[in-house]
Amino acid sequence: MSRSNPLFYGKILLFGEYGIIKDSMGLSIPHTYYKGAFQFEPSFNKEQSKSNENLFKYLAYLKTDEAPCRFNTTAFESDLNNGLYFDSSIPQGFGVGSSGALVAAIYDRYCEEKISKNPQQSSDIKTLKKIFSWMESYFHGKSSGIDPTICYMGLPLLIKSKDELGSVRLPSASSGAGAVFLLNSGAPGETQPMVEIFMEKLKEEGFRNMLKNQFVKYNDACIKAFVEGDTTPLFSNLKKLSKLVLENFEPMIPKGFHDLWKQGLESEEYFLKLCGSGGGGFVMGFTRDYDKTSELLKKYQPEVVYRF
């Protein structure tokens, strides 16, 4: 991947999947293993051609009256005619920000009055999130705008509520025994059907109560402990959160992972949670002893996101 154009990294929502729809906290970090950038190619291969074709479709979306900021669609169209495509290693449907990085790259290149990647005001981050929400909704039907905001800023973001978010300093990643890791389910997940299942579940009073009284509580406690680098409350709340997801988000857990999920809870060697909307893609795990856990789970090709 040539470095001539700005790189946009993937992201990992460590905590807050589904909860942020109902105003829980969220914590998201850039995942620099995956990245994308615009490139020009005079003669496309199949993948590049598909990217260019999809960008042409997206251009039509940017031309609509609802666009929340002014885009230089003339330049975009000209670039597309000259072989522009998005060169990305971010897998689609795996919850690591493939559409977020693309949207961030489009905004960065074509928005005529763009906000800096290092916004000084929290109101600027809020505006970015609003713009990105509209831009990414093209792909998912409904988007919070958080993923592209993280991909654009390239910084960890703490989401305190729907309207309050800002960058956050995390304890320096260390070479300690603990780790956050990803397991590959082997198949992409689709966000929209999963969100629809969730919205349907919200009609049940029991599910709403569980979210409000338990899920949000454990999720927010995990974030607080993670940001403070305090592993004891982190793992005790992770266990509760993992169990809650297993019991209440069954359709979102990728096929073949339910037993693995239970094994983690029973052995306490690791705890699994959803990565993104679930249904496929990656599953996220936390462990105090990565060497041991990676051996246990080696057939799922664990990939480290963060060491502590």
CATH of 8-167, one of 3.30.230, 2.20.28, 3.30.1330, 3.30.160: 3.30.230
Q: Angle at the Cα of 221 (from 217 to 225), degrees rounded to 5?
A: 175
Most confident residue range from 13-27, 64-78, 140-154: 64-78
- For residue 22, is pLDDT > 90? no
pLDDT tens, position by position, 244-260: 999 999 999 999 999 99
CA pair distance 269, 253, nearest whole angstrom: 19
DSSP letters, 181-195, are EEEE-SS---HHHHH
Judge if 8-167 and 179-307 fold alike in CATH terms: no
Q: Which two tokens stand for residue 222?
A: 């995990």
Q: Is 281 helix (H, G, I), strand (E, B) or coil?
A: coil
Parse the chain into domains and list their residue ranges.
8-167, 179-307
- For residue 265, is pLDDT > 90? yes
Q: Which CATH architecture has domain 179-307?
A: 2-Layer Sandwich (3.30)
Lowest mean pLDDT among 11-15, 33-37, 90-94, 233-237: 90-94
CA pair distance 158, 15, nearest whole angstrom: 10
The average pLDDT across 122-137 equals 94
DSSP state of 21: G
Burial (CB count within 10 angstroms: exposed 0-12, middle 13-18, buried 19+), residue 140? middle
Looking at this protein, which amino acid is placed at residue 104? A
DSSP state of 18: T
- For residue 23, is pLDDT > 90? no
User: Comparing C-alpha atoms, which of 275, 30, 32 is closest to residue 167?
Assistant: 30
Which residues are CB-contacts of 158 (< 8 A; sequence separation ≥ 6)? 25, 26, 27, 165, 166, 167, 168, 223, 227
Sign of CA dihedral 132, 134, 138, 140: positive
In the block, residue with structure tokens 């992770």: 238
Per this entry, what is the length of the chain? 308
